[in-house]
Amino acid sequence: MRIEIPREFERLGAVRIYGLQKVYELDAGGSPDVIARDDGVVRSLPAEAIHEVQRQMAIVVPVRSERLKLIESVLVGIPNPCLVIVVSNSPREPIDRHFLEQESIANFCQFTRKQVVIAHQRDPAVAAAFAAGDYPEILDEAGLVRHGKAEGMIIGTLLARLLGRRYVGFVDSDNYFPGAVNEYVRDYAAGFLMHGSDHTLVRIAWHSKPKIVEQALYFAKWGRSSRRCNRALNQLLSAYTGFETDIVKTGNAGEHALTLDLAMAMRYATGYAVEPHHYIDLLERHGGILPTERGDMRQLVRICQIESRNPHLHADKGDAHVADMIVGSLATIYHSRLCPPALRSRLEAELRQAGYLGEGEPVRAIRVYPSLTQLALDRFAAGMQEILDRRIGATAPANGAPVHAGHPA
């Protein structure tokens, strides 16, 4: 892959947010000597180096009631070296959609000789593992893991950790183009190769989102929600640096990857606030603004943003869905301890003007989970063993211990 070296970054405390990086070649060839020919503007990363990172990566695919054809096309796009973890919250009755998903994934595994870990978010065994690990926050009144994409992401992250992966990346299961999925996962690897593998978060900004406007194909750049979310995050940064900025382009990036160490340390927000909250959590804890929980400014946290070349086409879920995303993203910024009063009133006015808040209705707070380091991992692991053993396409490990290799021989 040939990719631009970021020209600028904004720094707050230990957090560095790099400017958007463009991709110049999806495949820059394999020869390692291409690195020597770099000219300081772009870097070429040999295919083998990309694969080496992917061998240590798990890709989590959250699913809720997506069409089987879509899920399959996402799996087709994930590069072979990655371990695939599907976390589903599809209904099991009146029609057992999750059973259909399992069957279709098993079929895929048979053709590809690949191993896929599948967990159902509402599986009582998963809830029991969280209870055993002393992490009851994620459970609802029924004693099961709460509904929501963030909760699915947490399960996927923990499975990646138990299976010994060093990186975890996410791709939505409603993507129509396997080629786009394939590129995202390459972009993730490129981000880690360029920015190191300690505390790094790689986020994808879609090149465009095709839609039909006046009967012609139109490639829109920014969605309704990402425009507002990025602007609010940039205003938050500007409030502390004193310089107006537009560095944040990936506030809502569903497509992102992190080092597992960082993923375990992160506090996740629920609902559609999960992605913008990454920025908030990192700035709250490492931005050197609040009396931080960790005062070490030498341990850099890097946020890198890569612009994909493939357009993004996913299932259209309607206006109510976009409204939820806007409210969720702005609410997480509004309720941050970092949000200055002036920005807070601007966000509230924005939500009210656009009709997302009723008369006198407050901006509701977003639930934020404690970091996963609070979970007793050994006890959680014991509870999840049954799910790990049920991996599709794998032979159960002989001694019942989690296997660290990602794919069958």
Q: Residues interacting with ligand GDP, by CB under 6 A?
A: 62-64, 66, 87-89, 121, 147-149, 152, 172-174, 254, 314, 317, 321
> Which amino acid appears at position 28 of this protein?
A
> DSSP letter string over 49-118?
HHHHHHTTEEEEEEESS--HHHHHHHHHHS-TTSEEEEEE----SSS-HHHHHHHHHHHHHHHHT--EEE
**Shortest reach from residue 66's CB to Co ion, in Å:** 9
> DSSP letter string over 242-283?
SS-------TT-SSEEEEHHHHHHPPPBSGGGHHHHHHHHHH
User: Which of these, 1, 406, 405, lies nearest to 184 by C-alpha position?
Assistant: 1
Window contacting Co ion (CB under 5 A); options: 169-177, 207-215, 263-271, 287-295: 169-177
Q: d(Cα 152, Cα 167) in Å, to the nearest integer?
A: 17
**Shortest reach from residue 164's CB to Co ion, in Å:** 30
Q: Name which of Co ion, ligand GDP, none residue 286 binds, using a CB cut-off of 5 to 8 Å depending on partner kind.
A: none
By beta-carbon proximity to ligand GDP, the closer residue of 15 and 145 is 145
By beta-carbon proximity to ligand GDP, the closer residue of 89 and 259 is 89
**Shortest reach from residue 301's CB to ligand GDP, in Å:** 24
The helix-helix angle for 319-334 and 341-353 (nearest 10°) equals 160
Please report the sign of the dihedral spanned by the C-alpha atoms of residue 297, residue 22, residue 171, residue 404: negative
**Shortest reach from residue 361's CB to ligand GDP, in Å:** 23
By beta-carbon proximity to ligand GDP, the closer residue of 132 and 313 is 313
Window contacting Co ion (CB under 5 A); options: 2-10, 16-24, 95-103, 311-319: 311-319
Tell me the β-bridge partners of 209. 220
By beta-carbon proximity to Co ion, the closer residue of 195 and 314 is 314
**Shortest reach from residue 223's CB to ligand GDP, in Å:** 9
By beta-carbon proximity to ligand GDP, the closer residue of 64 and 227 is 64
Q: Name which of Co ion, ligand GDP, none residue 152 binds, using a CB cut-off of 5 to 8 Å depending on partner kind.
A: ligand GDP
Q: Exposed, middle or buried by CB within 10 Å (0-12, 13-18, 19+), for 315?
A: middle
CA distances, 406 to each of 80, 163, 264 (Å) = 10, 8, 20
By beta-carbon proximity to ligand GDP, the closer residue of 174 and 307 is 174
Interface with Co ion, residue 174, by CB under 5 A = yes
- Closest-by-Cβ residue to ligand GDP is 152
Could you check whether the bond before residue 62 is cis, i.e. omega within 30 degrees of 0?
Answer: no
By beta-carbon proximity to ligand GDP, the closer residue of 124 and 295 is 124
By beta-carbon proximity to ligand GDP, the closer residue of 18 and 108 is 108
**Shortest reach from residue 232's CB to ligand GDP, in Å:** 17
Residue 376, φ and ψ in degrees, nearest 5: -80, 100
The structure tokens 């900025």 sit at 245
Which of 314, 335, 391, 407 is the binder for Co ion (CB under 5 A)? 314
Residue 58, Cβ neighbours under 10 Å: how many?
27
Q: d(Cα 332, Cα 337) in Å, to the nearest integer?
A: 10
For residues 324-338, one letter each, b for 16 or more C-beta atoms within 10 angstroms of the residue's C-beta and e for the rest, the string is bbbbbbbbbbbbbeb
**Shortest reach from residue 157's CB to Co ion, in Å:** 19
Window contacting Co ion (CB under 5 A); options: 144-152, 276-284, 313-321, 367-375: 313-321
**Shortest reach from residue 13's CB to ligand GDP, in Å:** 29
Q: Name which of ligand GDP, Co ion, none residue 63 binds, using a CB cut-off of 5 to 8 Å depending on partner kind.
A: ligand GDP
Interface with Co ion, residue 275, by CB under 5 A = no
Task: Write down how long the chain is.
Answer: 409
Positions in the binding site for Co ion (CB under 5 A)? 172, 174, 314
